[in-house]
Each structure stands twice: as C-alpha cells, then as structure tokens.
Amino acid sequence: MEFFLRLIQFIAKIIYAMIYPLLHILLPRKSPSTIPPIRNQLVTLPLIDLVKLMRQRKLKSVDLVKAYIERIKEVEPHINAVVQDRFAAALEEAIRADALIAKATDEQLPALFSRYTLLGIPFTVKESCGLKGMPIRVGSRQRAHLTSPEHGEVVSNVVAAGGIPLLVSVTPEYCFSIESNPTTQKRCLNPHDSRRTPGGSSGGEAALNGAGASLFGIGSDIGGSIRIPSLFCGIFGHKPTGGITSIQGHFPGSSDANCRQYLQLGPLTRFGRDLGLLMQVMAGKNADKLDLMTPVETKNIKIFYAFGYDGLNGFLHSSPVFEMKLSILKAVKFFESRGCQVERTSMKAFKNSLEISLSSLVLLKDFPYLINSSNPNKVREHLIEFLKALCGKSEYSKEAIYFDIMRRVNAFMKSKNLEKYKAELQTLKAEFGQMLGSNGVLFFPTFTVPALHHNTCTLALWAVDYTLMFNVLGFPCTHVPMGHDDNGLPVGFQVIAAPYKDKLCIQIAGELETAFGGWIIPTPHELQPMDESR
C-alpha cells in the first residue's frame, strides 16, 4: 500500500463526505423530470421483440427509425448528448432494409434474418468508437477537425449485422473523466436530474438510453466507462471479458497488448434481455468463446456478494451509500429464494486494489497523453494548465488534465513498486478466478453513490477501482439497475464472473430485470395506441 496515494484518497474521502450532503441541500433535485414522456410505444419495446415483429412483417424499419429520430429530437435539448446525427442517411438505409425484407419470400425470411441479425434496427455510437465519416474529436478542441475514416471493428460488426447507426454521442475530453464535460460543446446532462452528470466516459450513450432515445448503444470501458454511466442513468451496461471485443478504430487506444485486455467495447441498453444478442454480434469472430447460446440454469449459479472492500482498504475508501448496499441485498435474497447458493465473501485479497488498478494504467505503453510538449517539466506545466482550467482559461478540461497529471506522476506511487503490483495482479487473477469458477458470480458495488453532481468527480474519482479493478483483471461485468433512491436517482450494482463467463452476468441481469423492473424511467410514459395496420 502506497502511503502518499492513500493519504490523498483519505483526504478526498473526508472532503467529499462533507460536500456530498451539503450539495443535496444546496442543489435539491428538480421535480418533476424535464424529460418529455414517451408517447410512441415502439420506443418501449426491447430489441428481441422488435426483431420478431420485423420477421413477421408487422413492423417496418422506416417506422422504427423515425420513432427513434423523433425521440432523440425531443430529449436532446434536455441532455446535450449528440455530437452529430446522420438521420437522413439512416432513413435511406431503413428504406433499403424494408425493401430487402419485402423482396424475400416467407421461406427465405429466416435465412435473411440469420445472416442479418439486426436488419433494420437503429442504434447509437459513442464517438470514440469510430463511425465512418462522423466526428471522432472525443471532446477535444485539438481534434475538432477529425472524422473517422472507417468504422471501428465493433461498429462494423453491428453494421454488417444490418444495424443502422443514427448518430455519435458525446464523451469527456479523451474519455479521461467520469463526467461528460467536453471542451467542444455543452456538458451532457443526466436525464433524471440535470444538475448531475450522466457519468463518463460513455455519458452521451447512457443519457440517450436512459431517456429512452436509443434502443442500444455501443460504448467503451477501461475503468468503468460503461458501468458507471449505466448506474447514473438507470440502464444496463456490459463490460466484456478482456480481449473479446476489438478496440480497432477506438480513440484513445494503444498498441500495448494489455490495453486490448483492459479496454473493451460493449453494449448499453435499457433491456437486460437484449444483452446476449448484442454481445453475440459485437464480439464478432470471438463470439464462440463466450458460448452465449447455451442455456444457463439460474439455480446452478453460485452467488458471492460483498458491499465493498475490507479492512484498511475499505476504511480508506468512501463506503457505498445504504441504497447501493440494499440493492445488492435485495438481489441476494431474491436468488436465495430461487434456490441459489449464496455466500458473503471477503475482499481482503484486494487490499491493494487502488495501487494495482492505477499502476496498470500507468504502465500502459503508447497510451496518449492529453498535453504533449517539449517542456522538460511536464508536471509543472500540467499543474499550471489545471489552475487555468479551474478558472475557465484553458483549452483543456480540468478533469482530463487531472487524469494526465495522475499518469505523469505514476499515480503518486514509487516507480520501483509498479512491477510489484503487476505481479500481485496475476496472483489475484488466479485466486479470484478459482473462487468464481465456471458457475460463480460476484455482486459488488459499481460505485459508491448515485449520479454525481457536476464538477465533483475529482473528489469521487478515488473510488474508480470499484470498476477499474475488474478491467485489469479481465473479468466480465454487467451493471444492473435496481430501482431509485429517496432522491429519485437510479441505484444498482455490478455482476462479475470469471473470464469468458459473460453469459452468467447476462443471465443474472435478465432475471433481475424481470423481478425488479430494470430500466429506470425518468418520466412515466404517455403511450398512444400502436398502429396495427403497419
């Protein structure tokens, strides 16, 4: 354990413990939500139902795409999630999809949908994941002129399956924050409370999905960037097993083999039941490694759970709030009633979780820095730029500079200890994997609190190892929404399994969606009857 690193963490914990309740008083939640209610029933249906309707010729892609375009236009003024849309092109692609379906005979239709699993289905893309011809500035003024020359590989997999991309969504600068506050446009807002962040770095995707304006989105996660926004916005988000999805076409990235393990692209969606199909498509050539199509008997899954880290490590962390712990307990009781074996587990083996997590990022080769110059005193340069950012005088965001500083100073760790923590990671991976085995999952907090107030992430960031730890381990994780707290904010937790056992996480997510309702709706629906003639 690193003394100076943990001293900073403890000081941040004390300051945030004082500020958090104060913000509740000074910035009470707006009520009711400003997000318009959903009126088109098409926008409330999960992917698997929509595919079925299209196969039965009861739904046209054009109608579905129009429904989502209209919903995006309704909510965008309230969340600021869109970087750039491609609505006109999407409608043309929907017309072509409908023509393809109309041309097929009833006998040919199953083969058509077997080849194009997502034929005519609209989706959205985190800007950093790469959508051909669309911006890939990733929240940075330095990249404002850049567009993606090709689809990233995961985006390409979804498009090849017949999916229709609608837009690219906003990220923080270089994806270096758990707030989506880019320098290129207005900050992204949480659909449940505009005074709070939707999270980061997949904040735009989470806000769109949480507001019911995306059927599903492609996000990326190197330290919680799918799961934390999913928590904050009340949706499902899956971080796959390390190395399962390609990071080709993603910015930022690295040639380092470890980056291909830590950084993963995956789905964000309102519907837990859709995760399996989405992962099957996104994983592409690696899908067979996950064996997603083989059924799982829920009663055979062993449930381990913990409410946070233990011992001194747990003391130095901010403890998850009561509602987070309660969401885990509710799920544990539910599966216990279903005949599953449940066991509270110790996290004492994770005594150096923060050191292991941060050192893994520090050791990444070729991972880009935000600020690059010939200045020999780069730390001093960064500190000056950070102070300028605090005063609104920098071309960079303060959150991204803060992350840059952390890496420049080895996350306040002694250089000689970095390799020691790398070795400890391998031991922990073997021990933890053995505990979970082929049929075990861990219920663990995704984060310590619900959606953060804007401009507070630098204090709360010291809990990032609740998620980052499992990226560097390479274990699959699914965030599951589990209702609201007393302030109307979404709560939930992550489900973690051994490598290549993603389907256990996805199975648990589907069961909990059925039992507890899943997606948290910002504003109740005002549905109009569906047109049965379509």
Active-site positions read 126, 201, 225
Burial class (CB in 10 A: 0-12, 13-18, 19+), 487: middle
Measured at the alpha carbon of residue 504, what is the angle toward residues 502 and 508, in degrees to the nearest 5?
120
- Which ranges constitute the DSSP H helices of 199-316? 203-210, 227-233, 257-262, 275-282, 311-316
Q: d(Cα 46, Cα 386) in Å, to the nearest integer? A: 44
Residue 520 tokens, joined: 């948290």
Instruction: Give yes or no for a contact between 197 and 457, defined as CB atoms under 8 angstroms apart.
Output: yes
Q: d(Cα 404, Cα 42) in Å, to the nearest integer? A: 43
Residue 149 tokens, joined: 């020359």
Query: If we measure between CA atoms, which residue out of 159, 234, 247, 168 comes closest to residue 196?
Result: 234
Q: d(Cα 116, Cα 164) in Å, to the nearest integer? A: 12
Query: If we measure between CA atoms, which residue out of 314, 320, 308, 233 comes closest to residue 20?
Result: 320
Query: If we measure between CA atoms, which residue out of 329, 344, 294, 343 comes closest to residue 501?
Result: 294
Residue 396 tokens, joined: 């960079």
Measured at the alpha carbon of residue 335, what is the angle toward residues 334 and 336, in degrees to the nearest 5?
90
Reading across the β-sheet that carries 264-269, which strands appear in turn?
82-85, 164-169, 122-126, 216-221, 264-269, 236-239, 477-484, 490-497, 440-444, 302-305, 342-344
Burial class (CB in 10 A: 0-12, 13-18, 19+), 354: buried
Phi then psi for residue 481, to 5 deg, are -75, 140
Residues whose CB falls within 8 Å of the CB of residue 407, separated by 6 or more in sequence, listed in order: 361, 362, 369
Q: Please name the amino acid found at residue 105.
A: T
H or E stretch including 429?
Answer: helix 415-436
DSSP per-residue string spanning 57-94: T---HHHHHHHHHHHHHHHHHHH--EEEE-HHHHHHHH
Q: Strand (E) positions, 146-301?
A: 164-169, 216-221, 236-239, 264-269
